[in-house]
Amino acid sequence: MATVREEQLALEMPAAKAPRWQQLVEWFKPSTSQALYDRVLLTVSLALLAFGFIMVSSASLPTADRLTGNPFHFAIRHGIYIVISLLVMLASLRIPTTLWNEHSGKLLLVGLAMLLVVLVVGHEVNGSQRWIKVGPITVQVAEMAKLFFYVYMASYLARREDEVREAIKGFIKPLALLFIAAVLLLMQPDFGTVVVLSATTVAMLFLAGAKLWQFFAVFITCVLAMILLIIVEPYRMQRFLTFLEPEKDPFGAGYQLMQSLIAFGQGQFSGAGLGNSIQKLQYLPEAHTDFIMAVVAEELGFVGVMGVIAVVLMLVWRALIIGRRCLMVDQRYGGYLAYGIGVWFSIQAFVNIGVASGALPTKGLTLPLVSYGGTSLVVSALAIGLLLRIDHERRMSGRKVAPRGGAE
């Protein structure tokens, strides 16, 4: 039998360290008792921010040099936006979700009011009046209005879940608010945001358990409305026809899409190398904003594009997992808000990549956490902070706090 001294020495000896690969797996997937937040979500979000800074810096050099004389002008501004976004993300972690829930109605009214104000005092760019200028700061109000709408939708679904499932009026009420927001957005005009907002709202209603026949009615109505909007506005019809056959007008309406497709073709499998894009040299308009994926495709190739898609899908997957876990412990508001944010990110990324690759008609939508744009970046970071806070509250609610006096 071991002596007392031998037992003491055995206890004092440090435990053998696990292999590095196992430590890495445990860091990404820790036990519930150890982690206070979703490490995978935070990691992929920071990875997208870092990747976005690199690609915006690469894509914006020629444009910045031509417009300002400083090739790093947009890179510096984007770096400042990232710092502000991280501060906003940290600040959102300190705000309980109950406050968002309690003030969701007020936030919705603020969002609708901002959409009204931008029609009166908004700053016009390329025929669209979507921005409000406050000194050197330019705010795209549609980005904030989208998030506020989802905050309200989550509150509505948490309060009226049974009504949404059993009564038609519970399904119609949020659609009436959506119609008001859509009209205000179309007056800017901002058709792309209407598509994302509508699709996300309908998806949230579906996840809340609304009846299937109602979605067929809404789907048919939305399709007819979009067809009507395309026919009524000449520029939308031109975009749609250009999307179908861009080669018929390669130096006019189809110019931007043709240049983007050339970038995708030149990238091939592994790309031309970081910084070696040809299309960003004044050929491809909006290379660092809406068409950032075209530069990614040219410089990093098929491998780079698939890598970005994989990371975005991982972020969306974590958001949906958080939503499902919250609903399992009856945290209705946090669950539906996490669902809304996850669906929003997935649809906007799908539209952005689809437009750049020629799979969808041209829309002015950014790639979340990657494209250049201060308001989009800050609002996306705020949404990530909300997800982390929602997951943190769920983890803390599941913990069993031992009494101070010790176990009985």
> What is the rounded end-to-end Cα distance, in angstroms, of the chain?
33
Cα–Cα distance list, 153 to 94, 157, 255, 379 (Å): 22, 6, 39, 17
Task: Tell me the chain's radius of gyration from C-alpha atoms.
Answer: 24
User: So what's the pLDDT on residue 284?
Assistant: 82
CA 187 to chain centre: 23
Helix (H, G, I), strand (E, B) or coil at 368: coil
**pTM of this structure:** 0.85
User: So what's the pLDDT on residue 32?
Assistant: 46
Question: Quick one: which H or E segment has residue 128?
Answer: strand 128-134
C-alpha count within 13 angstroms, C-beta hemisphere, residue 60: 26
- 296 in Cβ contact with 280 (< 8 Å): no
DSSP string, 220-250: HHHHHHHHHHHHHSHHHHHHHHHHH-GGGST
Tens place of pLDDT for every residue, the chain, 408 residues?
445 455 454 445 544 556 666 655 555 555 544 677 888 999 999 999 999 999 999 988 888 888 888 888 899 999 999 999 999 999 999 999 999 999 999 999 999 999 998 888 877 776 677 778 877 778 888 899 999 999 999 999 998 888 888 878 888 888 889 889 988 888 887 888 888 998 899 889 888 887 777 777 777 777 777 777 777 766 666 666 666 777 777 777 678 888 888 889 888 888 888 888 888 887 888 788 888 999 999 999 999 999 999 999 999 999 999 999 999 998 999 999 999 999 999 999 999 999 888 878 777 788 999 998 888 999 999 999 999 999 999 988 866 543 444 333
Question: Left (φ > 0), alpha (ψ -120 to 50) or beta: where does 29 sit?
Answer: beta
Question: What is the rounded distance in angstroms from the CA atom of residue 149 to the CA atom of residue 133?
Answer: 22
- Tell me 403's DSSP state: P
User: So what's the pLDDT on residue 79?
Assistant: 93
Question: What is the rounded distance in angstroms from the CA atom of residue 400 to the CA atom of residue 211?
Answer: 38
In degrees and rounded to multiples of 5, residue 185 shows phi and psi of -70, -40
58: CB partners within 8 A, 6+ apart? 274, 275, 277, 280, 295, 299
- Write down the domain spans for the chain: 39-94+253-393, 100-232
Question: Left (φ > 0), alpha (ψ -120 to 50) or beta: where does 210 sit?
Answer: beta
